[in-house]
C-alpha cells in the first residue's frame, strides 16, 4: 500500500516534468505568439502478478491534452503490441498475458499520439513504466540440496556446526514476502538452527566412538503469519575425534619364544592394544607393573601401528634364566581428562618369554688380554694364556687359533691350548706394541671344529731397554766466518734416541778431541752450542772442518755415539754476512729397491747389445758370398762407365776378382732356371783365360743361385745367340765366345781405354 501511495504522488510530478520537456522542445514561429501548453496525462500504471481473472487485464490509461478528432494513440518499446496493447482511441492499456514479477518486475514503454491521416506526430513521445506488484507466490529455496558440517565430539551445548542458506524470489521490499525462517525437522534432539541458518549442538555428550556422523533435515519457509510453501535440505554432520580413550590390550596374556643368542636390541615379540581413537590420537606408552626384569627388557611403542615391541637390553642366557614372566600396562598420557569416561579398569596384560637353548660359541673369561714383555729378552718365550669355555651343557673342549696380527708377521704365536708364545725376542724400536686376534672354537664329538667361534683381542706391550745410542740431529750446513771472534756461537746441536727418554733424562755432549778451534758448551736442555775457541780460521789451510762430537745418554747401561759435524769456513763481510762458502758434496742416499731397479736396467741393456752384435756377426757370415757378388756387381755391372783415364787405377778392383778365383769355390749342381746355350769353344790365353774362368764361375753362380737378384748384365746380356747380328752387347762373354777378336786396337783408343787394353789385349 505504501508503494501504491508513493506511486500516486510521484505520477503528477512525473507528468508535469514531461510536459515541461514537451513545452521546451516545441518550436515557435513567432516570438510574440505563444502556443498553448500540452501535456500527457495518465494514471500511475501498475499491475499485480499472476492475476487469475480472464485476459486481457486493464493496466492503465494514457491521455493527451491534444484536441484533435483524428488523433490516434500508439505505444512503442519492450513487449509493446505483444504483451501490452493500447486502445488507439481511448488510450487504455491492456495486458494480454499473466505477468510474473520474479521473471520481470517492470516494463518501460513509450506513448505516442499521431494524426490518423498522415501519421504525423501530434505530440513528442513520452516514456512510462508499468510495475508488477509481488503477491508472495514463491517458497524459499536452499542454495544446495546437501550441506556438510563438522564439530569436535563432546563439544558443549551451543557449539556452532555449520550454516545453511535459502533464498526467496519474492520482492524483499514487501514486508514478509522474502523473509525466511529455518527449522530442524529431523535430528532436532541433537542439533538446532536459528533464523540466520546457523546450526549448533543441543547436547554435550556427542561421542564419535558411538556415532560418528549425523544426517539432519532443515526446513525453510516464509516468515510466520504468511502462507506459502517451504523447502528442505539435508545436512550431514561429522564428529571429529579428540583423544578421550585409553588403549586396551587385545589379549590378557602374551607368550613368546626366543633363542638365547638373540642380539641386544633385537625383537622378541609384539603386544597389541586397541585404541578406538583415530591414529593421530594414539600415543600408547608401555610400562612394567610387576616383575624384576626392567633391566633385561624394554618395550617401545611403534608410532605407526601402536604396537609394543619387546627388546632385550642385555644378552640372554638359557643356562641362567630359561623363562621370564612379568606384567605390563598400556596407557596414553595425552588423553584429555575432561572427557575421560570414569569407571574403566586399567589395561594390564601378562607377558611370558621362553628362552630356548642354542649352540653358543665359546665365551672368553677375560676381555681383553694384555701382556708386557721386555724387548730383546731371549729368555722370555711364554707371555701367558687365554681361556674360554663352552657355555652350553655339553661343555666341549676348546681350540684356539690366531686369526689376525698387527703388525703382520710371525711375532706372536698362539698354541691350540691358548698359550701366548714368542718365537723370537721383540724389538720395541720396530713396534712398541703387538696385537693379535685369537679365535676360540669348540671341538665336536667327531673331532671336527665347530663353525661357530668367538674372538678375543690380545695386546702385547713391549717395554724399553736401553739398547740404542743417541744420534745427532744433523742441522743445516753449519758455517763460520774465517775472521770469527772467539766465543762466537756457530750452531746449536741436538740429539735423538730411539729408546724411551725419561722426563728427567738429558743427553751429555762432548768433543772427541780438544785439538781444534772449536769448543762445546752444554745448555742442559738436551742441546749444546758449538762455539769458536781461538778465532781467525785460515781458509788456505782448511776450508772444511770435521768436528767429532760424542753424545751419551743416561740409561742403564749408558750408551754413546760419535757423530761428525761438518763445518764450512766462509768469507764474510764486515757485518758478518757470508759472501762465499765452499760447496760440499752432498750425500745422496739410494734405497735398495732403487739399486735393484738400476741393476736390472743395466743388465737388460747389456743383453740387448749382445744380441744385436751376435745378429750382425751371424748376418756377416751368411753374406760373405753375397758381399763378393755385390762388390763384383759394383765393378762389372756398370760397363757403360768410361773411367777416369790413365791415372784412374781404383775404379775397378781386379784383386777382388782374383780373390774369388783363388778361393776355388765351385757352385753346386742345381737345375738351371734359364735355358742353357752351347757356346763354341775358344782358345784361352794366360791372362784372358783366367778372367774368362772367373767370369764363367760368376755366371754359373748367378744362374744357379735362386736367392740372388736377376742381374741383367749376367742373365739377359750374357749371350745373344749364334745367329744374332749384334752378337753379345756385353764385354763379359767376349773372353770365351769371341776369342778370335783382337783387342789390341784398344791401345789405339787413347788413355781412357788403357785399363781395358791391359785386361783383354794379347800384347803387354
CATH code for position 71: 2.60.40.60
Residue 211 in domain: yes
Residue 595 in domain: no
Which grid coordinates are listed for 292?
624384576
CB distance 352 to 255 below 8 Å: yes
CB distance 252 to 350 below 8 Å: yes
> DSSP state, 333?
T
* 2, burial (CB in 10 Å: exposed 0-12, middle 13-18, buried 19+): exposed
Which grid coordinates are listed for 570?
766462509
Question: What is the residue range of 267's domain?
Answer: 248-356
User: Do 304 and 348 have their domain in common?
Assistant: yes
Provide the number of structural domains found in the chain.
5
Q: Please check the confidence at residue 465 and state whether its pLDDT lies above 90.
A: no
User: Do 99 and 164 have their domain in common?
Assistant: no
* pLDDT tens string 360-398: 889 898 888 999 999 888 888 899 999 998 888 788 899
Distance, in Å, from the CA atom of 190 to the CA atom of 200, rounded to the nearest integer, reads 9
On whether the pTM is more than 0.75, the answer is no
pLDDT at 3: 31
Lowest-confidence range among 138-152, 450-464, 609-623, 688-702?
688-702
pLDDT at 686: 47
Lowest-confidence range among 226-235, 584-593, 611-620, 657-666?
657-666
Give CA angle at 445 (414, 450), nearest 5°: 50
User: Do 227 and 311 have their domain in common?
Assistant: no
CB distance 551 to 473 below 8 Å: no
Distance, in Å, from the CA atom of 187 to the CA atom of 235, rounded to the nearest integer, reads 10
Q: Which of 220, 240, 260 is the last residue of a domain?
A: 240
User: Do 455 and 546 have their domain in common?
Assistant: no
User: Do 95 and 164 have their domain in common?
Assistant: no
pLDDT bracket for residue 667 (50, 70, 90): very low
Q: What is the residue whose three cell numbers read 563439544?
A: 155
pLDDT at 174: 67
CB distance 233 to 332 below 8 Å: no
Distances in Å between the alpha carbon of 744 and those of 739, 759, 760, 764? 12, 10, 8, 9
pLDDT at 344: 57
Residue 655 in domain: no
pLDDT at 342: 62
pLDDT at 520: 92
User: Do 576 and 475 have their domain in common?
Assistant: yes
User: Do 173 and 124 have their domain in common?
Assistant: no
Distance, in Å, from the CA atom of 764 to the CA atom of 743, rounded to the nearest integer, reads 12
Distance, in Å, from the CA atom of 401 to the CA atom of 508, rounded to the nearest integer, reads 49
622 versus 369: which is more confidently predicted? 369
CB distance 62 to 112 below 8 Å: no
C-alpha atoms less than 13 angstroms from C-alpha of 627 in its C-beta half-sphere: 8
* 556, burial (CB in 10 Å: exposed 0-12, middle 13-18, buried 19+): exposed
Q: Which of 356, 391, 407 is the last residue of a domain?
A: 356
Residue 201 in domain: yes
Q: Please check the confidence at residue 82 and state whether its pLDDT lies above 90.
A: no
User: Do 50 and 113 have their domain in common?
Assistant: yes
pLDDT bracket for residue 202 (50, 70, 90): very high
Residue 397 in domain: yes
Distance, in Å, from the CA atom of 259 to the CA atom of 67, rounded to the nearest integer, reads 124
Sequence-distant (≥ 6) Cβ neighbours of residue 538 within 8 angstroms: 482
469-502 as b/e: b if 16+ CB within 10 A: bbebeeeeebbbbeebeeeeebbebbbebebebe
* H or E segment and range at residue 759: helix 754-760
CB distance 389 to 365 below 8 Å: yes
User: Do 449 and 390 have their domain in common?
Assistant: yes
Give CA angle at 467 (461, 472), nearest 5°: 115
User: Do 348 and 275 have their domain in common?
Assistant: yes
Sequence-distant (≥ 6) Cβ neighbours of residue 341 within 8 angstroms: 244, 245
Q: What is the residue whose three cell numbers read 748367378?
A: 702
Sequence-distant (≥ 6) Cβ neighbours of residue 655 within 8 angstroms: none
Sequence-distant (≥ 6) Cβ neighbours of residue 747 within 8 angstroms: 753, 754, 757, 761, 763
Residue 641 in domain: no
Q: Which of 356, 390, 416 is the last residue of a domain?
A: 356
Distance, in Å, from the CA atom of 466 to the CA atom of 457, rounded to the nearest integer, reads 29
CB distance 324 to 293 below 8 Å: yes
Average the pLDDT over 54-65 and give the result: 79
User: Do 331 and 395 have their domain in common?
Assistant: no
Residue 653 in domain: no
376 sits in the region (left: phi over 0; alpha: psi -120 to 50; else beta) called left
* pLDDT tens string 483-521: 888 999 989 999 988 888 766 678 899 998 888 889 999
DSSP 3-state of 515: coil
Specify the long-range contacts of residues 313-318, CB closer than 8 Å, at least 24 apart.
313/264, 313/265, 314/264, 315/260, 315/264, 316/258, 316/260, 316/261, 316/262, 316/355, 317/260, 317/355, 317/391, 318/260, 318/355, 318/356, 318/357, 318/358
Q: How big is the chain by its Cα radius of gyration, in Å? A: 69
User: Do 341 and 386 have their domain in common?
Assistant: no
| DSSP codes of every residue in 18-57 | HHHHHHHHS--S-SS--PPP--EEEPPPEEETT--SPSPE
Q: What is the residue whose three cell numbers read 588423553?
A: 335
Which grid coordinates are listed for 396?
666341549
Distance, in Å, from the CA atom of 636 to the CA atom of 658, rounded to the nearest integer, reads 14
Q: Please check the confidence at residue 687 and state whether its pLDDT lies above 90.
A: no
Residue 671 in domain: no
Amino acid at each position: 500500500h505504501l508503494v501504491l501511495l508513493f506511486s500516486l504522488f510521484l505520477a503528477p510530478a512525473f507528468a508535469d516534468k514531461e510536459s515541461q520537456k514537451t513545452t521546451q522542445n516545441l518550436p515557435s514561429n513567432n516570438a510574440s505568439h505563444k502556443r498553448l501548453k500540452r501535456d500527457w496525462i495518465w494514471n500511475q500504471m501498475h499491475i499485480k502478478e499472476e492475476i487469475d481473472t480472464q485476459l486481457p487485464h486493464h493496466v492503465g490509461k494514457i491521455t493527451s491534452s491534444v484536441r484533435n478528432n483524428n488523433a490516434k494513440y500508439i505505444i512503442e518499446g519492450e513487449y509493446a503490441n505483444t504483451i501490452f496493447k493500447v486502445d488507439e482511441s481511448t488510450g487504455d492499456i491492456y495486458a494480454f498475458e499473466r505477468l510474473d514479477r520474479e521473471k520481470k518486475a517492470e516494463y518501460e514503454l513509450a506513448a505516442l499520439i499521431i494524426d490518423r491521416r498522415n501519421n504525423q506526430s501530434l505530440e513528442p513521445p513520452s516514456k512510462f513504466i508499468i510495475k508488477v506488484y509481488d503477491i508472495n507466490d514463491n517458497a524459499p529455496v536452499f542454495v544446495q540440496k546437501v550441506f556438510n558440517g563438522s564439530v569436535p565430539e563432546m563439544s558443549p551445548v551451543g557449539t556452532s556446526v555449520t550454516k545453511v542458506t535459502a533464498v526467496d524470489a519474492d520482492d524483499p521490499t514487501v514486508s514478509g514476502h522474502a523473509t525466511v525462517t529455518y527449522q530442524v525437522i529431523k535430528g532436532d534432539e541433537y542439533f538446532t538452527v536459528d533464523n540466520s541458518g546457523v546450526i549448533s549442538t543441543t547436547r554435550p555428550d556427542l561421542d564419535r566412538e558411538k556415532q560418528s556422523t549425523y544426517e539432519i533435515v532443515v526446513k525453510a519457509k516464509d516468515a510466520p503469519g504468511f502462507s506459502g510453501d517451504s523447502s528442505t535440505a539435508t545436512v550431514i554432520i561429522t564428529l571429529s575425534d579428540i583423544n578421550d580413550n585409553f588403549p586396551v590390550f587385545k589379549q590378557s596374556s602374551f607368550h613368546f619364544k626366543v633363542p638365547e643368542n638373540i642380539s641386544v636390541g633385537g625383537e622378541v615379540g609384539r603386544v597389541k592394544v586397541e585404541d578406538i581413537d583415530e591414529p593421530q590420537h594414539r600415543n600408547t606408552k608401555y610400562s612394567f607393573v610387576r616383575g624384576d626384569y626392567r633391566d633385561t627388557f624394554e618395550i617401545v611403542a611403534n608410532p605407526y601401528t601402536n604396537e609394543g615391541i619387546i627388546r632385550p637390553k642385555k644378552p640372554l642366557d638359557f643356562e641362567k634364566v630359561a623363562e621370564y614372566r612379568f606384567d605390563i600396562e598400556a596407557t596414553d598420557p595425552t588423553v584429555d581428562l575432561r572427557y575421560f569416561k570414569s569407571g574403566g579398569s586399567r589395561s594390564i596384560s601378562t607377558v611370558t618369554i621362553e628362552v630356548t637353548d642354542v649352540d653358543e660359541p665359546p665365551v672368553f673369561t677375560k676381555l681383553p688380554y694384555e701382556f708386557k714383555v721386555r724387548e730383546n729378552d731371549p729368555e722370555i718365550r711364554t707371555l701367558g694364556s687365554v681361556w674360554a669355555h663352552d657355555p652350553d651343557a655339553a661343555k666341549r673342549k676348546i681350540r684356539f687359533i690366531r686369526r689376525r696380527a698387527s703388525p703382520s708377521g710371525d711375532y706372536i704365536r698362539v698354541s691350540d691350548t691358548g698359550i701366548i708364545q714368542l718365537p723370537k725376542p721383540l724389538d720395541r724400536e720396530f713396534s712398541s706394541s703387538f696385537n693379535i686376534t685369537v679365535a676360540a672354537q669348540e671341538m665336536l664329538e667327531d673331532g671336527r671344529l665347530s663353525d661357530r667361534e668367538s674372538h678375543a683381542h690380545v695386546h702385547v706391550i713391549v717395554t724399553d731397554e736401553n739398547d740404542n745410542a743417541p744420534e745427532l740431529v744433523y742441522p743445516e750446513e753449519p758455517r763460520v766466518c774465517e775472521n770469527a771472534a772467539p766465543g762466537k756461537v756457530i750452531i746449536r746441536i741436538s740429539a735423538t734416541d730411539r729408546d724411551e727418554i725419561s722426563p728427567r733424562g738429558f743427553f751429555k755432549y762432548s768433543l772427541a778431541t780438544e785439538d781444534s778451534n772449536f769448543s762445546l758448551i752444554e745448555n742442559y736442555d738436551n742441546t749444546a752450542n758449538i762455539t769458536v775457541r781461538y778465532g781467525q780460521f785460515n781458509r788456505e789451510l782448511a776450508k772444511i772442518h770435521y768436528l767429532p762430537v760424542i753424545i751419551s745418554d743416561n740409561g742403564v747401561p749408558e750408551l754413546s755415539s760419535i757423530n761428525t759435524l761438518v763445518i764450512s769456513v766462509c768469507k764474510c763481510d764486515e757485518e758478518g754476512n757470508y759472501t762465499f762458502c765452499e760447496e760440499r758434496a752432498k750425500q745422496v742416499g739410494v734405497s735398495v729397491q732403487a739399486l735393484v731397479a738400476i741393476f736390472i736396467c743395466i743388465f737388460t741393456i747389456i743383453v740387448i747389445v749382445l744380441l744385436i752384435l751376435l745378429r750382425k756377426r751371424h748376418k756377416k757370415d751368411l753374406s760373405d758370398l753375397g758381399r763378393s757378388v755385390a762388390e763384383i756387381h759394383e765393378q762389372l755391372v756398370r760397363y757403360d762407365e768410361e773411367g777416369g783415364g790413365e791415372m784412374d787405377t781404383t775404379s775397378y778392383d781386379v784383386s777382388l776378382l782374383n780373390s774369388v778365383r783363388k778361393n776355388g769355390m765351385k757352385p753346386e749342381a742345381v737345375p738351371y732356371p734359364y735355358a742353357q746355350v752351347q757356346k763354341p769353344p775358344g782358345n784361352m790365353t794366360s791372362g784372358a783365360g783366367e778372367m774368362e774362368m772367373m767370369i764363367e764361375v760368376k755366371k754359373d753362380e748367378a744362374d744357379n743361385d735362386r736367392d740372388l737378384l736377376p742381374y741383367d748384365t749376367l742373365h739377359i746380356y750374357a749371350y745373344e745367340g749364334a745367329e744374332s747380328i749384334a752378337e753379345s752387347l756385353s764385354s763379359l762373354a767376349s773372353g770365351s765366345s769371341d776369342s778370335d777378336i783382337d783387342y789390341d786396337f784398344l791401345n789405339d783408343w787413347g788413355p781412357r781405354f788403357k785399363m781395358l787394353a791391359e785386361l783383354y789385349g794379347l800384347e803387354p
